[in-house]
Each structure stands twice: as C-alpha cells, then as structure tokens.
Amino acid sequence: MTTPYEQLAKLSITLPPVGVPAAAYVPFAQTGNLIFLSGHIAKKYDSGAAIVWTGKLGENLMTADGNAAARAVAIDLLGTLEAACKAAGKDLNAVKRIVKIMGLVNSTDSYTEQHLVINGASELIAEVFGSSVGSHARSAFGVIQLPLGACVEIEMMVEI
C-alpha cells in the first residue's frame, strides 16, 4: 500500500501551509467525519510569493493553462486538508474518501471545456490517493467571474 505522502514525494510535491482566507470565513470546517474545505482560488508563485492566478478561459487562457491552475488549486486544497486532519489529531493517511469537489472555471460565454480544466485537480487527487480513496463525485461549470479575478476556484468535501 502506497501512502498519500509517498505519492506526494514521488510527484515532488511539498504541501503548502494553509492560506489565510481573503475574507470572513475559515479554510475548513469539520462535522462528524466530514471535512468541508472552502473554495480555494488558483494561485501561482512569483519569486516565491503566492499571487492570484488570474484570467478567463476562452479569452486569455487556454485549456492547458486552466488545467495547470486546477492542479495547483488541488495541491493547495491538500495542504488545507492536511491541516484539517491535524486539527483532528490525524494526518492524510486518515482520509477514507475524497467525496466530492466543485470546480468553478472563469469562462467566456462560448468556452465549453470546463471539465478538461477541472481534470487537472481530479487527476492529481487520483494520483495522490489512488483510485479507491481518490475517486470522487464532481460538478464543474463556467462562471462569469471569481474573487480577485482568479481563473479557477475549487471546493472539496472529504471523509476521514
């Protein structure tokens, strides 16, 4: 059995610390054995500092860009998920199931590849957790705009 940590190491991914929400809410909330992660907007690193990954699919970003942004969001979500697990006295090995994600794609009114964008997150999750823990339900759709102009926002629900 491979652990999520072994998979992350194989992928050369270091989980980031939990980001500070831009507003009056918290990054995650647990009820029973379910953890609800807030919508995380896409960020990229510029000289080591995280800045918002802005843009609109169909306008100034290609599907491959959006896919990379969604993968980056998934890594940030896993960082928050690890913090949530630790708050419960556990770690990522305690994840029983990635239940569902909701993926929002900043889109023009003619861009129709939101599912391919959000695959960037879904595929990373499957790589890290394997197909039985990592295979999740999902909704993906286009939105007219996101906070701070981000190109992608994803929220996640997890069973531990």
Return the residues of window 68-87 that contact a copy of itself according to CB under 8 A.
none
Nearer to a copy of itself (CB atom), residue 91 or residue 130: 130
Binding mask 41-60 for a copy of itself (x = CB under 8 A): ---------------x----
Residue of the chain from 31, 47, 48, 89 that contacts a copy of itself (CB under 8 A):
31
Which element (helix H / strand E) includes 38?
strand 34-41
> What is the distance between the alpha carbons of residues 134 and 154, in angstroms, rounded to a whole number?
16
Give the count of beta carbons closer than 10 Å to the beta carbon of residue 65.
18
Q: How far is CA 37 from CA 18, 55, 100, in A?
A: 11, 23, 11
Cα–Cα nearest to 43, from 159, 146, 152: 152
Stretch that binds a copy of itself, among 9-17, 42-50, 71-79, 86-94 (CB under 8 A): 9-17
Within 82-141, the residues that bind a copy of itself by CB under 8 A are: 96-102, 104, 107-116, 118-119, 122-123, 126-127, 130-131, 135-141
The CA angle 79-69-106, to the nearest 5 degrees, is: 120
Nearer to a copy of itself (CB atom), residue 47 or residue 112: 112
**Closest distance between a copy of itself and the C-beta of residue 34, in Å?**
7
